């Protein structure tokens, strides 16, 4: 009788495979309140590594970290009409506290443009205070009707950047720089995920923004996932909160603003982009554990050797864990590490010691081969880089192979059944976009004819990328 697979095969039921993997790789659990999640240590370790890599890039871009309250007076949200309208269905509102009704209800932050602008209006007085570049790492709450762990949850973790600039040109350039040099670089070169950079249509734009830049990735089932966004807010919030600066004379001018964010949704994107029927595959540059050294049996010589190898690899700059828990069967431990997607396993048993070798298992391309124990520290960094490049190449090849040119709505819907479609935005337009939406297909972004980010929605030659999305 055939042995039952550890995970539901992707080809049989991709959503079930996703949920199986989250559970069996010990990434997260559902929280006690519908739509919330408990992120388990291994899953949180992935998020911590994302935070570290992103935080370094954000600081290099000149932004400083700060923190703002999670409770926002309801009156703040009503100051920017388009913003409150966009978020109204998702708001969680507190009406009672301390055993009595509050004088004014407070909103649990869905995003922080309003409360941050309240303080920007105090902090910005003259042109010398600009640009003001702030980022915060926080949680937000959006009452999600169709929750899915990591992808759409009522509460999630993220970073949100907020900036104020003296000119439209400066704000636009900064939003673009975050889009490409911070987010695009991180997702491509650390997550190993091929992303398409484009601009959202007016329908898909962030509430209160004049332009939204997006990064879209194709998941293993051909659907799209919005991995992050960077918004040009224009002067909408500045006018609502009277955020102005003094020019050289007495004249005052409204600031120009941006906001931008990525969230724990990236963990879901990582799973669905790189995972296979054996579990997760973690990019080596991201992995909190790049290599695990496993003792096959618990005799003293083997245990001493795996600990020695672990120390050597750590000294070589590799993030390593020694698994010497031989009271658990070796096969089960190997499957657990495979599920977790650790890039490399170094397996050592008594026979390996006799030969001076270890068995090297590579999670990303698959396969095993014996290697010299003495050469491991020199060998592994190059292998980790090879496997990092392989993940990006596979992600890019999937997107290219499953993206087709289409000419009309019917072809667009057909393309979205298995991947993405590319259609002239001039031909599709807002009317065609609305018709696609009726069939569950959205315009993920608009790109220029050469694949770059267009300066305007109606730039000649613009292409709409259409897909079903998470």
- Read off the CATH number of the domain in which 346 is found: 3.40.50.800
Q: Mean of the pLDDT values across residues 407-428?
A: 97
Q: Are 379 and 313 in contact (CB under 8 A)?
A: no
Paired with 464 in beta bridges are 423, 446
Of 274, 300, 334, which closes a domain?
A: 274
Does 180 share its domain with 122?
A: yes
Give the domain CATH number at 231.
3.30.930.10
Percentage of residues of the chain with pLDDT beyond 70: 99
CA distance 414 to 446: 19
Choose the final residue of a domain: 367, 382, 399: 399
Shared domain for 115 and 254, answered yes or no, is: yes
Nearest one of 114, 164, 108 to 138, comparing CA atoms: 108
**187 and 331 together in one domain:** no
Kindly report each contact of residues 321-330 with a partner whose C-beta sits within 8 Å and lies 24 or more positions away, as own/partner: 321/289, 321/291, 321/292, 321/293, 322/292, 322/293, 322/295, 323/292, 323/293, 323/294, 323/295, 324/295, 324/298, 326/295, 326/296, 326/297, 326/298, 327/298, 330/294, 330/296, 330/297
* pLDDT (0 to 100) of residue 1: 58
Query: What's the rounded mean pLDDT across residues 9-31?
Result: 97
The reported pLDDT for the residue numbered 4 is: 74
415 belongs to a structural domain:
yes
Name beta bridge partners: 106. 73, 94
- Specify the pLDDT at position 47: 98
In a domain, 6, yes or no: no
Q: Is the pLDDT of residue 84 over 90?
A: no
Question: Do 128 and 79 belong to one domain?
Answer: yes
Q: Kindly state the average pLDDT of the residues 290-310.
A: 96
Q: Is residue 282 part of a domain?
A: no
Q: Residue 28: pLDDT band by 50, 70, 90 thresholds?
A: very high
On whether both 173 and 141 belong to a single domain, the answer is yes
Residue 3 forms part of a structural domain:
no
CB atoms within 10 A of CB 36: 17
Beta bridge partners, 71, equal 108
Tokens representing residue 440 in the block: 């569950």
**In this structure, are 48 and 197 located in the same domain?**
yes
Mean pLDDT of 15-43: 97
Query: Would you state the pLDDT for residue 90?
Result: 87
> 219 is written with which tokens?
């998941």
Q: What is the pLDDT of residues 215-250, one digit of tens each?
A: 999 999 999 999 999 999 999 999 999 999 998 777
| Confidence at residue 65, expressed as pLDDT on a 0 to 100 scale | 98
Same domain for 162 and 39: yes
pLDDT in tens, 160-194: 999 999 999 999 999 999 999 999 999 999 999 99
- Whether 60 and 136 share a structural domain: yes
* 395 found inside a domain: yes
Q: State which of 222, 248, 274 marks the end of a domain.
A: 274
Residues 266 and 241 in one domain: yes
In a domain, 285, yes or no: no
Mean pLDDT of the chain: 95
Question: What average pLDDT does this structure show over 89-104?
Answer: 93
Please state the pTM of the whole predicted model.
0.95
Q: Is the pLDDT of residue 86 over 80?
A: no
Q: Which domain holds residue 314?
A: 291-399
Q: State the pLDDT at residue 87.
A: 75
Mean pLDDT of the region 133-152: 95
**Residue 55 in this model has a pLDDT that exceeds 80:** yes
Average pLDDT value for residue range 394-413? 97
Please tell me whether residues 235 and 362 are part of one structural domain. Answer: no
461 and 384 share one domain: no
pLDDT at 48: 98
Q: Which of 339, 388, 387 is nearest to 362 (CA)?
A: 387
Residues 342/346/347/350 CA torsion (nearest 10 deg) = -160
145 has pLDDT over 90 = no
Tell me if 9 is assigned to some domain: no
- Spatial neighbors of 371 by CB under 8 A, at least 6 apart, are 357, 358, 359, 360, 379
The proportion of the chain whose per-residue pLDDT surpasses 90, expressed as a percent, equals 93
The predicted pLDDT at position 61 comes to 98
Number of domain units in the chain: 3
Q: Is 360 helix (H, G, I), strand (E, B) or coil?
A: strand
The answer to whether residues 370 and 359 touch, using CB atoms and an 8 Å cutoff, is yes
pLDDT tens digits for range 351-403: 999 999 999 999 999 999 999 999 999 999 999 999 999 999 999 999 999 99
Q: pLDDT for 257-286, tens place per residue?
A: 999 999 999 999 999 999 999 999 999 999
Q: Is the pLDDT of residue 405 over 90?
A: yes
Residues 319 and 420 grouped into a single domain: no
Contact (Cβ atoms closer than 8 angstroms) between residue 87 and residue 111: yes
Residues 6+ apart with CB under 8 A from 74: 93, 104, 105, 106, 107
Residue 249 has what pLDDT?
73
**pLDDT greater than 80 at residue 83:** no
The answer to the question of residue 210 being in a domain is: yes
- At 19 the pLDDT is 97
The distance of Cα 10 from the centroid of its chain, to the nearest Å, equals: 21
């Amino acid at each position: 009788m055939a042995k039952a697979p550890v995970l539901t095969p992707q080809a049989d039921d991709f959503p079930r495979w996703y949920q199986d993997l989250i559970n069996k790789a010990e990434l997260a659990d559902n929280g006690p309140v519908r739509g919330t999640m408990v992120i388990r240590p291994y899953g949180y370790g992935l998020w911590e590594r994302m935070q570290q890599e992103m935080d370094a890039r954000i600081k290099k871009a000149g932004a400083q970290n700060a923190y703002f309250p999670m409770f926002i007076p309801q009156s703040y949200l009503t100051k920017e009409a388009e913003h409150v309208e966009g978020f109204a269905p998702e708001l969680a509102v507190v009406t009672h506290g301390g055993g009595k009704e509050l004088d004014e209800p407070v909103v649990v932050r869905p995003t922080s443009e309003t409360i941050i602008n309240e303080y920007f209006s105090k902090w910005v007085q003259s042109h010398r205070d600009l640009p003001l570049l702030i980022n915060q790492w926080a949680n937000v709450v959006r009452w999600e009707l169709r929750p899915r762990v990591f992808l759409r949850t009522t509460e999630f973790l993220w970073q949100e950047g907020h900036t104020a600039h003296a000119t439209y040109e400066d704000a636009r350039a900064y939003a673009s720089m975050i889009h490409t040099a911070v987010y695009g670089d991180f997702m491509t070169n650390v997550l190993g995920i091929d992303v398409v950079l484009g601009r959202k249509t007016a329908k898909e734009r962030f509430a209160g923004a004049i332009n939204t830049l997006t990064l879209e990735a194709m998941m293993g089932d051909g659907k799209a996932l919005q991995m992050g966004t960077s918004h040009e807010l224009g002067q909408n919030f500045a006018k609502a909160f009277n955020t102005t600066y003094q020019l050289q004379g007495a004249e005052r001018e409204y600031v120009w603003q941006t906001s931008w964010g990525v969230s724990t949704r990236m963990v879901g994107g990582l799973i669905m982009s790189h995972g296979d029927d054996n579990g997760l595959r973690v990019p080596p540059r991201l992995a909190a554990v790049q290599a695990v050294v496993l003792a096959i049996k618990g005799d003293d010589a083997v245990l001493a050797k795996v600990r020695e190898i672990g120390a050597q690899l750590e000294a070589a700059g590799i993030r390593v864990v020694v698994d010497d828990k031989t009271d658990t069967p070796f096969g089960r431990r190997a499957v657990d590490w495979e599920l977790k997607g650790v890039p490399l396993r170094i397996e050592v048993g008594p026979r390996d010691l006799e030969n001076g070798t270890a068995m090297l298992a590579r999670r990303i391309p698959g396969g095993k081969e014996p290697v010299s124990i003495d050469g491991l520290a020199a060998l592994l960094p190059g292998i980790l880089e090879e496997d990092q490049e392989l993940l990006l190449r596979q992600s890019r090849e999937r997107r290219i192979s499953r993206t087709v040119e289409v000419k009309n709505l019917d072809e667009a819907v057909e393309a979205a059944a298995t991947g993405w479609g590319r259609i002239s935005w001039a031909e599709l337009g807002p009317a065609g976009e609305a018709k696609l939406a009726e069939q569950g297909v959205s315009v993920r972004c608009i790109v220029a004819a050469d694949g770059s980010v267009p300066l305007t929605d109606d730039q000649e030659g613009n292409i709409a990328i259409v897909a079903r999305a998470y």
